[in-house]
Homo-oligomer: A and B are copies of this chain.
């Protein structure tokens, strides 16, 4: 009898455990997107997931093919007043100048020192070649481990000027919900960013639950060598391998993933080709763009739909019109998002 009793206890414990698990699942299935207001955007996401994961659906997608790609800056987190990685590059200049004092009076390093002293307007004087020079000086010529450690240290200490919080706190809660909802439904979520691949990989796992191998970004080459003890290491080189913007996004997706995404999310013309490429596939494909139209809770910029123009994360009227024409869904931050940040 003792044996039988034990078995029953064991069986009951198991059954209870199963009921608890089922209960948790049912709860999670209640509303996978609680920070979204009801509307076309939320419906598009839920409808897409249901259509592609229901085996009885003609648009069913086998789990292995469930790939979703997300731009980062302005799509998953705040990109104004300036891209976070650009802030990292600028704020790395003082240490660089300390190590090489001769740079203090040489542009663009001298310009950056002025910007950091408070002359924010001087940021407009930085050209793209200036930024490339700064990027090379602060983010190459070191081992990949040193770069990661430096970026990690900066991210832990730096604060966004408006919210006075670490940049990694400034991710959009509604998009975090989309990432999780897709993953729970068998999608592999990728970041496909114009930002630096090595930079984003430093925090992607902790911040988005996206492992480094699922980050596709603008990437420079590395070179293999040995230190004085014969230990091999990789040095970051100032040599561009992949410019992961515009046409570079589908090209990067092919290089790094080798499959066409079923869902893609962006917020600016740099994402246009990724969305086109995604939508050109067979069956159900989801293409969405985040429109920053909420000056109060975040920022408002376009110039699409009469929003203020911007040099950072522009959303052109042409992109807006293309979205309308091609059945991409535009997410209005103001109307579609109940909450923007987890810390609110």
Q: Chain A interface (Cβ within 8 Å of chain B)? A: 7-8, 10-12, 14-15, 18, 64, 67, 144, 188, 197-198, 201, 205, 211-213, 215, 219, 221-224, 231-234, 241-242, 247, 250-251, 254-259, 273, 276-277, 280
Judging by beta carbons under 8 Å apart, are A256 and B256 in contact? Answer: yes
* Chain B neighbourhood of A188, CB < 8 A: 213
Q: Which of A231, A242, A258, A276 has the most CB of B within 10 A?
A: A258
Which of B10, B64, B205, B250 is close to A232, meaning CB atoms less than 8 Å apart?
Answer: B250
Across the interface, which residues of B come within 8 angstroms of A234, CB to CB? 250-251, 254, 277
**A202 to chain B: closest CB distance in Å?**
10
Majority-rule SS of A interface residues: helix
| Complexed CA–CA distance, A201 and B14 (Å) | 42
User: In the bound complex, what is the Cα–Cα distance between A257 and B222 (angstroms)?
Assistant: 13
A276 to B: closest C-beta gap in Å: 5
Report yes or no: B232 in contact with A280, Cβ–Cβ below 8 A.
yes
Are the C-beta atoms of A221 and B11 separated by less than 8 Å? no
A-B contact pairs, 18 of them (CB 8 A): A8-B11, A11-B15, A14-B18, A197-B258, A212-B258, A212-B259, A219-B255, A222-B255, A223-B251, A224-B247, A224-B250, A224-B273, A232-B250, A232-B273, A234-B254, A234-B277, A241-B241, A256-B256
Give the number of times this chain occurs in the complex, counting copies.
2
B15 x A213 contact (CB < 8 A): no
Inter-chain pairs besides A14-B15, A198-B258, A223-B251, 7 sampled, C-beta below 8 Å = A11-B11, A11-B12, A11-B14, A14-B18, A67-B213, A224-B273, A234-B277
> Which of A12, A14, A255 is packed against the most chain B CB atoms within 10 Å?
A255
B258 in contact with A241 (CB, 8 Å): no
Closest to A248 in B: B224
Q: Which of the residues B10, B250, B257 comes within 8 Å of A212, measured between beta carbons? A: B257
Given known A241-B255, A255-B241, A256-B256, contact A224–B277 (CB-CB < 8 A) = yes
**Cα(A86)–Cα(B212), bound, Å:** 33
Q: Which of chain B's residues has its CB closest to A219's CB?
A: B255
Chain B residues, Cβ within 8 Å of A247: 223-224
Closest chain-B Cβ to A292's Cβ sits at a distance in Å of 26
Given contacts A232-B273, A232-B277, contact A213 B251 (CB under 8 A): no
Given contacts A221-B251, A232-B276, contact A213 B14 (CB under 8 A): no
Chain B residue nearest in CB terms to A253: B234
